């Protein structure tokens, strides 16, 4: 992504209508390229998210020896090199803005006796990597990193990795996945204990690729204990990527708050580890109906019909955070249009996303006259207290901040500008076209 910023402005819009299909799930897209690269033989992925974050993972997998091409029907075809057989990359692995891509690949590289250097953009270079590097160090991986375990950093996997039992200090699917990916090439069993269940795409996909993996509830009934048996070859697999619920969130919230709207958001993944926003919006009184529920590629999917609704403020418990962690910025936007206050708790992890999202959301609300209060790990938004909009929002290289505040502008009293829309390319390249086709008025600053 080039470093020049380009602003975009969303204006109060007429009803949003029609049927939209947002791109493929980012979590599943990254993992499909990675596991297909570790399998022996040819895998096919349909519906892959072709956004910058996932392209960075594809480029890294190529550097590690996989062959990735596009098939006649637009499917992505991956010829994997096989577990234990990855090549040492000749150049640096540049992950751009991609936290998931970089952290999961650290697990893969750490599980092989090769060295690799990881670099990223200014946002990724600020994010903490120690959460992944610490367990990898326990497994025998050598790390040379900047102060505070930030990018750029280099890692080298040992000849033989030590399998570990690791209790996650933070609820993070990225950390869980990095350890399990390293464990794939360790002799013996590697176990991750998660005190709170996080998204389970890694476990589901490892099963589909033939890994020996088990998931058990923790003895206290909270969270999960996941164990993978190492040095067990992976077989290729065909993956169907459902629409990303974290991208669908922008269309759903826009449909709820833009007057007169009625939209259908198609094929949305309904994995319960990702549907916290839907639950919360329904508690707020959202008119959301899930139609045509079916199974695609091992995930339940459905079409979500959304109608403009009178929302009321609610308290969102911290225990729900893992299932909607990327959706808080757009929930804060919905909350600005609700009757009464919405209280969001347990938001510590928002501080270490593509930006400090708690601070970025609070600043965006402030710039647009939305009454709110923020603490170290909480945010309270007062809905409908007066005229809102008219502000310019700093996005800090964070795609979800950009999209959330453009959605705010569609339903506000005055237009809302975001300072940089190019960052949206990291996860949702056709966001502008899709929203405009539905009736959104969004103007881009010409370079």
Q: Which helix (H) or strand (E) holds 306?
A: strand 299-307
The smaller minimum CB distance to ligand S3P, of residues 44 and 103, is found at 103
The smaller minimum CB distance to ligand S3P, of residues 173 and 179, is found at 173
The smaller minimum CB distance to ligand S3P, of residues 100 and 309, is found at 100
Q: Is 63 in the site for ligand S3P (CB under 6 A)?
A: no
Torsion sign over Cα 99, 103, 109, 114: positive
DSSP string of 107-170, one letter each residue? HHHHTTT-EEEEE--TTGGGS--HHHHHHHHHTT-EEEEETTTEEEEEEE--SSPPP-EEE-SS
CB 412 within 8 A of CB 12: yes
User: If binding means CB under 6 A, how many residues of this protein chain bind ligand S3P?
Assistant: 10
Going residue by residue from 348 to 387, which x/- string records binding to ligand S3P, judged by CB under 6 A? Answer: -x--------------------------------------
Instruction: Tell me the CA distances in angstroms from 328 to 224, 259, 350, one per residue in order.
Output: 24, 22, 8
- Which one of 33-41, 171-179, 338-346, 370-378 is the stretch in contact with ligand S3P (CB under 6 A)? 171-179
Going residue by residue from 287 to 326, which x/- string records binding to ligand S3P, judged by CB under 6 A? Answer: --------------------------------------xx
Q: Which of 20, 106, 136, 173 binds ligand S3P (CB under 6 A)?
A: 173
- Which one of 78-86, 173-181, 304-312, 414-422 is the stretch in contact with ligand S3P (CB under 6 A)? 173-181
The smaller minimum CB distance to ligand S3P, of residues 121 and 326, is found at 326
The smaller minimum CB distance to ligand S3P, of residues 258 and 270, is found at 270
Closest CB 190 distance from ligand S3P, rounded Å:
17
CB burial readout 212-229, b (16+ within 10 A) else e: ebeeeeeeeeebbbbbbb
The smaller minimum CB distance to ligand S3P, of residues 168 and 442, is found at 168
Closest CB 400 distance from ligand S3P, rounded Å:
9
Structure tokens at 427: 């996860």
Closest CB 209 distance from ligand S3P, rounded Å:
16
Closest CB 174 distance from ligand S3P, rounded Å:
4
Q: Which of 27, 190, 227, 261 binds ligand S3P (CB under 6 A)?
A: 27
The smaller minimum CB distance to ligand S3P, of residues 14 and 130, is found at 130
Report how far residue 199's alpha carbon sits from residue 273's, in angstroms, rounded to the nearest whole number: 5
CB 428 within 8 A of CB 399: yes
CB 381 within 8 A of CB 370: yes
Burial class (CB in 10 A: 0-12, 13-18, 19+), 302: buried
Report how far residue 244's alpha carbon sits from residue 26's, in angstroms, rounded to the nearest whole number: 7
Closest CB 137 distance from ligand S3P, rounded Å:
19
Helix (H, G, I), strand (E, B) or coil at 358: helix
Closest CB 349 distance from ligand S3P, rounded Å:
5
The smaller minimum CB distance to ligand S3P, of residues 200 and 308, is found at 200
Pick the closest to residue 155 from 125, 123, 132, 187 (CA basis): 132
Minimal CB distance to ligand S3P: which residue? 27
Report how far residue 428's alpha carbon sits from residue 414's, in angstroms, rounded to the nearest whole number: 25
CB 347 within 8 A of CB 300: no
The smaller minimum CB distance to ligand S3P, of residues 113 and 298, is found at 298
Binders of ligand S3P among residues 96 to 155 (CB under 6 A) are: 100
CB 148 within 8 A of CB 134: no
Closest CB 16 distance from ligand S3P, rounded Å:
25
Q: Which of 43, 174, 355, 430 binds ligand S3P (CB under 6 A)?
A: 174
DSSP category for residue 228: E
Closest CB 427 distance from ligand S3P, rounded Å:
8
Structure tokens at 259: 């007057």
| Residue 326: active-site member | yes
CB 397 within 8 A of CB 123: yes
- Which one of 83-91, 136-144, 166-174, 388-396 is the stretch in contact with ligand S3P (CB under 6 A)? 166-174
Going residue by residue from 180 to 199, which x/- string records binding to ligand S3P, judged by CB under 6 A? Answer: -------------------x
Active-site residue (options: 53, 75, 326, 420)? 326
Structure tokens at 154: 């280099």
- Which one of 90-98, 170-178, 273-281, 435-443 is the stretch in contact with ligand S3P (CB under 6 A)? 170-178
Sheet holding 238-240, edge to edge: 67-70, 76-81, 40-46, 238-240
Give the catalytic positions in this structure. 326
Question: Which chain residues interact with ligand S3P by CB under 6 A?
Answer: 27, 100, 172-174, 177, 199, 325-326, 349
């Amino acid at each position: 992504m080039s470093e020049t910023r380009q602003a975009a402005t969303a204006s109060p819009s007429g009803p949003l209508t029609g049927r939209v299909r947002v791109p493929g799930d980012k979590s599943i897209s990254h993992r499909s390229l990675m596991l297909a690269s570790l399998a022996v033989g040819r895998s096919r992925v349909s519906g892959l998210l072709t956004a910058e974050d996932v392209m960075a993972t594809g480029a890294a997998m190529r550097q590690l020896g996989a062959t990735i091409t596009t098939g006649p029907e637009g499917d992505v075809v991956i010829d994997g090199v096989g577990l234990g057989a990855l090549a040492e990359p000749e150049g640096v692995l540049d992950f751009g803005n991609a936290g998931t891509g970089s952290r999961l690949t650290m697990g893969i590289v750490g599980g092989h006796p090769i060295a690799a250097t990881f670099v990223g953009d200014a946002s990724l270079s600020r994010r903490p990597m120690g959460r992944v590097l610490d367990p990898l160090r326990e497994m025998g991986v050598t790390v040379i990193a900047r102060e505070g375990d930030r990018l750029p950093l280099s890692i080298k996997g040992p000849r033989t990795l030590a399998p570990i039992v690791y209790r996650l200090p933070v609820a993070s699917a990225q950390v869980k996945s990095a350890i399990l990916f390293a464990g794939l090439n360790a002799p013996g069993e590697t176990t991750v204990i998660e005190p709170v269940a996080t998204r389970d795409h890694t476990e589901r996909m490892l099963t589909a690729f033939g890994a020996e993996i088990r998931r058990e509830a923790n003895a206290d009934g909270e969270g999960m204990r996941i164990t993978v048996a190492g040095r067990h070859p992976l077989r290729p697999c065909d993956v169907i990527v459902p629409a990303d619920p974290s991208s669908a969130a922008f269309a759903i919230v826009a449909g709820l708050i833009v007057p007169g709207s009625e939209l259908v958001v198609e094929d949305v993944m309904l994995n319960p580890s990702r549907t916290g926003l839907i639950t919360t919006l329904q508690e707020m009184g959202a008119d959301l109906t899930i139609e045509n529920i079916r199974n695609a590629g091992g995930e339940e999917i459905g079409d979500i019909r959304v109608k403009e609704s009178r929302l009321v403020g609610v308290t969102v418990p911290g225990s729900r955070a893992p299932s909607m962690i990327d959706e808080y910025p757009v929930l804060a936007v919905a909350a600005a249009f609700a009757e009464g206050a919405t209280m969001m708790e347990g938001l510590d992890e928002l501080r270490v996303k593509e930006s400090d999202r708690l601070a970025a959301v609070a600043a965006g609300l402030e710039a647009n006259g939305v009454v709110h209060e923020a603490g170290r790990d909480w945010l309270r938004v007062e809905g409908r207290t007066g005229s809102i909009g008219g502000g310019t929002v700093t996005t800090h290289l964070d795609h979800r901040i950009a999209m959330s505040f453009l959605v705010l502008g569609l339903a506000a009293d005055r237009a809302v500008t975001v300072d940089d829309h190019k960052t949206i390319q990291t996860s949702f390249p056709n966001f502008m076209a899709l929203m405009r086709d539905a009736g959104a008025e969004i103007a881009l600053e010409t370079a």
